[in-house]
Amino acid sequence: MVDAGAAIAAPAPLRRSWRGRLTMAPAFLWWVVFLFAPLALILVSSFFKRGPFGGVVYELTGANFSRATDPLYLSVLWYSVRMAFLATLICFLIGYPAAWFIATRPSARVRNALLVLVILPFWTNFLIRTYSWIVLLNRGGVINRTLISAGVIDQPLPLLYNDFAIVLGLVYGYLPLMILPLYASLERLNPEVLEAAEDLGSRPFRALRTVTLPLIAPGIVAGCVFVFVPSLGNFPVPQLLGGGRRIMIGNLINQQFLDARDWPFGSTLALLVMAILLVLLVFQSRVLRRSREIGIDG
Amino acid sequence: MSDDGAPVIRIEGATKRFGDVVALDDVSIDIGENEFFALLGPSGCGKTTLLRSIGGFEQLSSGRILLDGVDLGHARPYDRPVNMMFQSYALFPHMTVRDNVAYGVKAEKLDKEEVAARVDGVLRTVDLEPLADRRPHQLSGGQRQRVALARAIVKRPRVLLLDEPLAALDRKLRQEMQIELKRLQHEVGLTFIVVTHDQEEAMSMADRIAVLHAGRVLQVATPQELYARPTDHFVAAFIGKMNFLPGRVVTGGVDVDRVGVVGASVNGHLEGADVWLAVRPENARVSSDEGTDPSVGGVVEAVAFVGAQVHTHVALDGGHGTFVVTSPPGATTASAGTRAYVSWSPDAALVLSRP
Amino acid sequence: MAERRRTSAWLRVFMGVVFVFLYLPLIVLVALSFNDAQRSVVSWQGFSVRWYGEMVRDEAILGAVGTTLTIAVVVTVIAVVVGTLLALGLERYTRSSVLDGAVYFPILVPDIVLGIALLSFYSIIHLSLGIRSIVIAHSVWGIAFAAAIVRTRLRGFDRSIEEASLDLGVKEIPTFFRITLPVIWPGVLAAALVVFTLSIDEFVIAYFTAGQTVTFPIQVYSMIRFGVTPVINAVATVMLAFSMLLIVGALLVSRPRNAPAPTEDEVEAEAEEELMPA
């Protein structure tokens, strides 16, 4: 029973046919034109001025960048980073035990079923899911009404149109994206490593901190990036759940592009978001590389 | 060889390089009509590369392959009247057995009745008719193999290539299939070229065998000749079991290191050349006295009764390791720890170059 | 990893809470869509399907649905075709890990950045905003998703069946359509379902690149912002049901069938079973 498997497992010799490489051409062509060119365009736009009626005037200026460092905008950016960070942290605190639970179910069927159940809401419309929280969190909404009629509180709680609602909306939107990579990393973890740690005297929490977490680092980092980045650039959630009173950088970009029609400045702000993304990606690849070196296939 | 003696397949100076690795090094072999021919060797020796080159899945770096005298050149697999049975069987998972077998014949643009007739005929030949509507995942390993065979045979190729046909089968099935393949080859009347790493398999099935090692052909001969008269140390060691003693050629024999001159036929070897003196276990005898035949002394290490044979292990003088002597049961045995002589008749020993 | 000791009760409770958290909003929405109330009142007034009736009569909604479906179909075709080719190329014709990673980049780019980048780009090349511009935008990430999904199907692919096809007399391109494609078909189908679902649900990129066109998510967005009637609950429920069906379909289709080959004895036993009267 050995050799048939070996025949399939041995990597097929790479045929250096240009015809084969052609199969990748349409995709990369599409991306060069409709992804990289537009991204390059906003990079370039941030160096230009806004025209009188919107649009771009091709005069070089650094004004956009200095404007972006205005405390007003920096505070928006800082607020966005804080909210995204909070959302990521909460997603991790919820997602890690959840991923652990799923990974430790003995039956593969149960594990798969649980994963499907976790992912399913994610595949539905983000707006709809955000809207559903409005219904729940409103002063006259389901949660308040239930609490009041149960006699727990007298006055409705201010659950909507504040930071709480925004973080909640973000967590709800992206939680599955934290659970999946964590699950993938946990599933690969050899339980004997943990048992060895405990055997050598580590109490469970220390074992968790010094053994488990480092070993699943790739999964943690991936989950954090998948939650942080979309949260940072999100604009429907702060708009709908934050009541428009708190703006994150996504709202700002939206405003600049569609209301103020200041495309160059909007591009500058978008560049900021991209810069943060790139920094995170570099960090992620470093973590990945170090993990591979010590033998974990994240 | 075919009627007019011309080989069906002639491989001339085939060389194949993968980057720095030389997989085939100037290989030349002739294979005749209706031969059951085996390419035998350890993994990495180039036998699969050679097979794939005949099939059109690899292109030679230099040299050529002729089929019925015509250079196959760069012809694609579908343009060659040659078919292959793959090691993994490569059955089409989304098709029934019948569709799998019919696949290649349909590509020949024959009319429907002809296709059906041929397919049914082959299914009967390999005894797969009752399974014709099953899919590969519903078949056992042996059944899948028969489908793979049928699929290739139905095309009536000039040559059928088989890549490690028995490797994936369990032992019992393997022995049955060895006989089955021989029978099939005779019945259908095809030339078979089989690649295998198992020398017992090659020896029992093939008419002639080419032994390959590190991309080179070491010897091409019938099984009997390969066994009795290997021309190379590697071939001698690879086929069956062999005892080796290192030494140098002197007049009338071999001066075995640290032992002395042992008589042997040294025709064709230069005086002073480094050689191996090789003796098959069953051609040697153990006795307490030296006798007149060529012999070497030593101490009996162990005597083992293995089924129908007695294996005597002797630690020879000169520190050349353990010499194994096989004898039929009932032969007088020496006891472990005693001093004895291992001897053989002069023409039973082989003298092989030792580079 | 799955052979651990008994799980603490707390963890089970926690998981229960997590699932309540994930599904409660959706359940509430569905319940409300059947609520026979005048305005967006959150108390139960009785069962009714009138909101569904109103939804189906609402021309704006119907128009948006039509637009969205059209876009999704075109995007799916483009993404699956281009993405499958890309997956083949990556799996077989290159060993570059850089290219491998590059495929995930379109998925990572924040949708707002992609949205405004394309908006700027479209104005430069004078491409009018509408269905076409949305299709192009969605295809950018659609191709990446399709490629990633088909790629996983290609990993265990036994290429010797393609060689066998060539050996039996069929040329390369027919071999692709008769052998390769049918075998990777579940992956292709799963990719199609996923891309389709994502496209019908996608809001932000469409929002920027749609111009005057209204897709369904954009319609929903205006309804949430400007005029919330209970019709929106019906709308939400239908969208939920539809998306979930598609995704469950995708998962079912792409389940791997990795049964090991039965032994001779097993096959004989099975054959005997078949012969015996049921």
Helix or strand run (H / E) with residue B287? strand B284-287
CB contact C183 to B (< 8 Å): yes
Radius of gyration of chain B (CA): 25
Query: What is the identity of the amino acid at C60?
Result: A
Does residue C29 lie within any of the structural domains? no
pLDDT number for residue A55: 65
DSSP assignment letter at A140: T
Helix or strand run (H / E) with residue B315? strand B309-316
Three-class secondary structure of residue B84 per DSSP = strand
CB contact A2 to B (< 8 Å): yes
Q: How far is CA A148 from CA A132, A141, A215, C184, in A?
A: 20, 11, 47, 56
Q: What is the pTM of this model?
A: 0.81
Q: In B, which residues are within 8 Å of C183 by CB distance?
A: 92-94
pLDDT number for residue A5: 35
Q: In A, which residues are within 8 Å of B86 by CB distance?
A: 7
Determine the longest span between alpha carbons in chain B, in angstroms.
78
Structure token pair of residue B214 = 């590190």
Does residue C264 lie within any of the structural domains? no
CA distance to partner chain C, nearest, from residue A82 (Å): 17
**Closest residue, chain A, to B196 (C-alpha):** A3
If you average pLDDT over every residue of chain A, what do you get? 82
Q: Which residue has the tokens 């901190």?
A: A209
Chains contacting C with at least 3 CB pairs below 8 Å? Answer: A, B
Does residue C199 lie within any of the structural domains? yes
What are the tens digits of pLDDT across the range A116-128? Answer: 888 888 878 888 8
Q: What is the dihedral of CA C238, C239, C240, C244, to 10 degrees?
A: 110
Name B341's bridge partners: B287, B297
Phi-psi region of C277 (alpha: psi -120 to 50; beta: other; left: phi over 0): beta
Determine the longest span between alpha carbons in chain A, in angstroms.
76
CB C272, CB B130: distance < 8 Å:
no
Instruction: Name the burial class of residue A155, with classes exposed (0-12), middle (13-18) and buried (19+) by CB atoms within 10 angstroms of its CB.
Output: exposed
Cα A179 to chain centroid, rounded: 11
pLDDT number for residue A289: 83
Chains contacting B with at least 3 CB pairs below 8 Å? Answer: A, C
Q: How far apart are CA C101 and CA A292, in angstroms?
A: 15
CA distance to partner chain A, nearest, from residue C50 (Å): 19
Does residue C83 lie within any of the structural domains? yes
pLDDT number for residue B2: 45
CB contact C164 to B (< 8 Å): yes
Within 8 A by CB and 6+ apart from A121, the residues are: A129, A176, C22, C23, C26
The angle formed by the CA atoms of residues B196, B201 and B203, to the nearest 5 degrees, is: 105
Q: How far apart are CA A296 and CA A286, in angstroms?
A: 13
Contact at CB, B90 and C163, closer than 8 angstroms: yes
Structure token pair of residue B246 = 């290192």
Q: How far is CA B129 from CA B13, B147, B183, in A?
A: 43, 10, 18
Low-confidence ranges of chain B (pLDDT < 50): 1-2
Structure token pair of residue A63 = 């004004």
Determine the longest span between alpha carbons in chain C, in angstroms.
74
Q: What is the dihedral of CA B281, B283, B288, B291, to 10 degrees?
A: -150
What is the separation, in whole angstroms, between the first and last Cα of chain A? 31
Q: How far apart are CA A278 and CA B353, in angstroms?
A: 66
Q: How far is CA C199 from CA A125, A130, B169, B216, C205, in A?
A: 10, 18, 49, 59, 10
Length, in residues, of chain B: 355
Q: How far apart are CA B191 and CA B185, in angstroms?
A: 7
CB B84, CB B152: distance < 8 Å:
yes
CATH number of the domain that residue C78 is part of: 1.10.3720.10
A-B CB pairs within 8 A amount to: 21
Domains in chain B with CATH codes: 9-233 (3.40.50.300), 241-353 (2.40.50.140)
Q: How far apart are CA A130 and CA C226, in angstroms?
A: 15
Query: What is the identity of the amino acid at A21?
Result: R
| Residue in A121, A149, A151 with CA at minimum distance from that of residue A133 | A121
Length, in residues, of chain C: 278
Contact at CB, C2 and A234, closer than 8 angstroms: no
Low-confidence ranges of chain C (pLDDT < 50): 1-4, 258-260, 277-278
| Residue in A277, A280, A249, A236 with CA at minimum distance from that of residue A79 | A249
| Residue in A234, A232, A237 with CA at minimum distance from that of residue A278 | A232
pLDDT number for residue A52: 65
Tell which CATH classification among 2.60.120.620, 1.10.3720.10, 2.30.110.10, 1.10.4190.10 matches the domain A70-293: 1.10.3720.10
What's the number of CA atoms in the CB half-sphere (13 Å) around residue C133?
A: 27
φ, ψ of residue C126 to 5 degrees: the values are: 55, 45
Q: How far is CA C74 from CA A257, C136, C137, C177, in A?
A: 27, 9, 12, 21
pLDDT number for residue A1: 33
Q: How far apart are CA B324 and CA A266, in angstroms?
A: 87
Q: How far apart are CA B52 and CA B58, in angstroms?
A: 6
Does residue C79 lie within any of the structural domains? yes
Q: How far apart are CA B297 and CA A260, in angstroms?
A: 105
pLDDT number for residue B182: 92
Contact at CB, B170 and A4, closer than 8 angstroms: no
Cα A190 to chain centroid, rounded: 27
Q: What is the dihedral of CA A255, A259, A261, A262, to 10 degrees?
A: -40
DSSP assignment letter at C8: P
What is the separation, in whole angstroms, between the first and last Cα of chain C? 41
Q: How far apart are CA C100 and CA B294, in angstroms?
A: 68
Buried b (16+ CB within 10 A) or exposed e, C222-241: ebbeeeebbbbbbbbbbbbe
Query: Which of B103, B110, B128, B144 to mutate to probe the C interface, most C CBs <10 Å?
Result: B103
Alpha helices in C125-203 (DSSP H): 131-155, 160-167, 172-175, 181-201
pLDDT number for residue A175: 92
How does strand B82-85 pair with strand B159-163? parallel
φ, ψ of residue B71 to 5 degrees: the values are: -70, 120
Instruction: List chain A pLDDT tens, one digit each, 298 residues.
Output: 333 333 333 344 445 567 778 889 999 999 999 999 999 998 888 888 777 666 667 777 777 777 877 888 888 889 999 999 999 999 999 999 899 888 888 888 888 888 888 888 887 888 888 888 888 888 777 788 888 888 877 777 788 888 999 999 999 999 989 998 998 888 877 777 767 766 776 666 777 777 777 788 888 888 999 999 999 989 899 988 888 778 888 888 888 888 888 888 888 889 889 998 899 988 888 888 887 777 665 4
Instruction: Provide the number of structural domains found in chain C.
Output: 1
Q: How far apart are CA B215 and CA B231, in angstroms?
A: 17
Question: Which among C164, C166, C257 has CB closest to B76?
Answer: C166
**Closest residue, chain B, to A1 (C-alpha):** B168
Q: Which domain holds residue C124?
A: 69-255
| Residue in A63, A96, A74 with CA at minimum distance from that of residue A208 | A96
pLDDT number for residue B50: 96
